[in-house]
Structure formats: C-alpha cells, structure tokens
Amino acid sequence: MQNWAGNLDYAAHTLARPSTLDELATVLAAAGPVRPLGSRHSFNDIADTPGTHVQVDRLDDGRPAVDLDPATGVVSVNAGLRYGEVSRALQLQGRGLGSLASLPHISVAGAVATGTHGSGDSNQSLAGPVVALEIMTTAGELRRVSRADDPEVFPGAVVSLGALGIVTRVELETMPSFDVRQDVAVDVPWETVLGSFDAVSGAAYSVSLFTSWEAAAVRHVLFKSLVPAGTVGERPAAVPGLRWATEPVHPLPGVDAAACTEQLGVPGPWHERLSHFRLEFTPSSGAELQTEYLLPRRHAVAAIEGMLGLAPRVAPLLQTCEIRTVAPDDLWLSPFDEDSVALHFTWHPRGAEVAAVLPAIEELLLPLGARPHWGKVFAIDPAELGALYPRFGDFKALTERFDPGGRLQGGYLGRLLG
C-alpha cells in the first residue's frame, strides 16, 4: 500500500479497519507494532509501521458520526471522517468551522495530529478548535482527554503524531454558519507584497498567495472575505491597485479550474469557499511532493526575500508555492506558538532533486525560526527537530505513559522519539 502521492510504499503487513470499539480493542490486543492511518496525505513515513495500520473510517461506536451538542456548539465527530463530510453535516445544522485546509479530502484525526492548517491572520490551525479527544491506547483502554478536565495533558495530546493511541473521536468547537466570497487578484507585484505584507494578509478573512518565485509578481492572491447575511459583499479594499481575475483560476498554472471552489466574488457558505478545492473532485493525480515550513510571522518578509534569492534552484522543481498566515495556539508540537507564516511547496515528483535543494531552503529558513510540517518532506535531522520544540521532553514522557511498550513508534516517529 502506498501513500496518496505514491512516493512512499508503506512497510505495514496488515491494514485493519474495525467497525466497532470491541474490534478495535481486539486489533490492539495483538502483539507487535501498530500505527493509526488517516487519508494517507503525508508525504514522509510519519504514519508508517512495520506492523499493522489501523483506519477508523468504518468505526461505529453507537453514536452519530457527526454529533452536535446544540447547547454548547461542540461537535463530536468520528475521527476517520473527512473534513468535507463533517462540514456538510454541520452546515445542515447551521454551524461552521473557523478554518479549513486547502483540501477537504483529509481526515479529521490525521490533520489534527500533524498540525495541518488553513489560512487567515486570526485563524488557528485545524487543531486549534479541538476541545477533547477519545483515544484507545495500545492496552485497549478508551480514554477521553479534554482541555477542561485534563489541562496538564491536553496540550500534548492534540498534535500527537499518532503517538498516544488510536483516536476514535474528536470534539471541535463550532460557530454559527457564515458566508464567504472568493476574489482572486492576479500578478501582484512583489513590491506590493513586501512593502505591505500585513495589509495584504489582513485584507480578508483568509488570504493565500501563490508563486513560483522566479517571476516579478505573485501569480495569484486568493482573498476569501466574510459576507454579511443577505448581501454579496465587496472585494477587499485594503490593498489598492490590484488587478482582478475575470475567470476562475487554478493554483497550478495551466490547470483547469473545475475542481476549485467558486471564485469571482460569488458568495456562498463557508464550507464551499474556505477550501481551495471541491470535495467531489480529485484535485490532483497525486503526482507531486510537498514541503512546508512554518515560521514566526515577524520574519515573513525576510523569508520571502531569501526565497526569491533561491529562485534559480527552486523554481525548476516547483509546481507552485503557497504563502499563508496562521494564528497561534498552545499545543506542544504545534509550530504555531506565535503569529506565523507558512511557505508551502508543491514540487514535481522528482524526489532526488527535491531532496538536494531542501538543505539550502532550511539553511535559509531555520535560523528564522522555521519548523517543517510533520507530514511533508524535509531534511532536518530528527534529533535537531525535536530540540526546536520547548515541550518536546514533556511530549516524549507523555508517549511513554500512553504507550509504554513503544508499539506506536514506527517510521519517522520512531526516529524522532529515539
């Protein structure tokens, strides 16, 4: 079995997809290594194991898969569901999530466990709205860990890399449903971005910049703006002189935009605008690699200027690069401990050449406080990466409490934890 991109053959000899909690406990009762597996959108072996992979997408614990408490606005969801499925169910009940990733196809538990995110100066990563998790440990014990009841453990249990057990339920804060319009500016000069980065990133609820680094302008800037109820809203006005797209665009140059969420300022519900792609489309064949670095927002301009200097080496390997902003949280293995900027690279599937350029990118970005996304390809040594997180020692101790036999420590996680 391979990951979604096809760049990695998993070492697992068995895939288990239990349909009940008892079946899951039986799987975990068997000896040997085990790892949770989500929608397989990781590009490295963070989810790998030489033993048994466990997917919970078929799990029925006797509760609704999307179980909203109308009194609190907290929704409990089956951890194996995709965000697109959860979003549609919430919209039908008049509720929404504050942020979504580019793809609605990723599983809730997998995205949360790796600190995956969307965009927006005030929007946290997908792990930010989590208020509780239900986790079955390798001993077969079902544990609920919540922010309210377990404040000493909870910040280490959310972005957990699957190191504590098999997450069966995720509880998320929701908000009233809201409408969004999406407008795309084209060929925005770098002088505008570098001279007014805060104005650009703050011009809408969610902003994404797409570049290949070698051009004199940012190819596309996606502005996703909140729309007052019953209106069509307006284009962002905080950045003057922008040129607006007159037809839908795809983040990758020359690709048909049919798979993209609706643009051109047409208002619609949050779940049909915040992601870049529609759930019913496969936005890519998977023939790509991805890298992402998250660093303090205060270093955004320095990072961008440095990347422009690396353009001759980077651009020939690149399909596109997305620049986003993310709000902070308090989770131990989240890279967002202050206002952050994300540089996300979508590469052509040329693994050896990409691996050769990553050290140069890290030489530029790591001194600026960058840390790689846990599920992408990067070069930094596991021991060095752990040292970038102040609570890493506490996280390692937590994994030993939940999984004393180290059965969950396969792939990159095993190298990370030593």
Domain limits of the chain?
A: 66-177, 179-270+279-372
Which among 259, 260, 172 has a CA at the least distance from the CA of 224?
260
**pLDDT of 283:** 66
- pLDDT tens-digit map of 140-169: 999 999 999 999 999 999 999 999 999 999
CATH of 179-270+279-372, one of 3.90.1150.10, 3.10.270.10, 3.30.450.70, 3.30.70.2520: 3.30.70.2520
Whether pLDDT at 32 is above 80: yes
CA–CA distances in Å: residue 410 to residues 34, 39, 318: 8, 17, 30
- pLDDT tens-digit map of 334-393: 999 999 999 999 999 999 999 999 999 999 999 999 999 999 999 999 999 999 999 999
Predicted TM-score (pTM) of the model is: 0.96
Taking residues 220-233, report their average pLDDT: 95
- pLDDT tens-digit map of 286-321: 789 999 999 999 999 999 999 999 999 999 999 999
- In angstroms, the CA 43 to CA 97 distance is 26
Which among 79, 61, 80 has a CA at the least distance from the CA of 21?
61
Taking residues 399-408, report their average pLDDT: 97
- In angstroms, the CA 85 to CA 83 distance is 5
- Please give the mean pLDDT across all residues of the chain: 96
**pLDDT of 230:** 87
**pLDDT of 254:** 87
Domain 66-177 has CATH 3.30.465.10: yes
**pLDDT of 253:** 87
Whether pLDDT at 329 is above 70: yes
CA–CA distances in Å: residue 409 to residues 34, 145, 167: 8, 21, 15
**pLDDT of 285:** 60
Whether pLDDT at 229 is above 90: no
- In angstroms, the CA 47 to CA 408 distance is 9
Say which residues have a Cβ less than 8 Å from residue 325's Cβ, sequence separation at least 6: 119, 120, 121, 201, 207, 297, 300, 339, 340, 341, 342
- In angstroms, the CA 308 to CA 292 distance is 16
Whether pLDDT at 284 is above 70: no
**pLDDT of 51:** 97
Whether pLDDT at 14 is above 70: yes
Structure tokens at 144: 């609920």
- In angstroms, the CA 76 to CA 92 distance is 15
Which long-range contacts (C-beta less than 8 Å, at least 24 apart) are formed by 313-317?
313/357, 313/360, 314/213, 314/345, 314/357, 314/361, 315/212, 315/213, 315/214, 317/347, 317/348, 317/350, 317/353, 317/354, 317/357
**pLDDT of 24:** 98
Specify whether the CB–CB gap between 30 and 52 falls below 8 A.
Answer: yes
Direct distance between the N- and C-terminal alpha carbons of the chain, in angstroms, rounded to an integer: 26
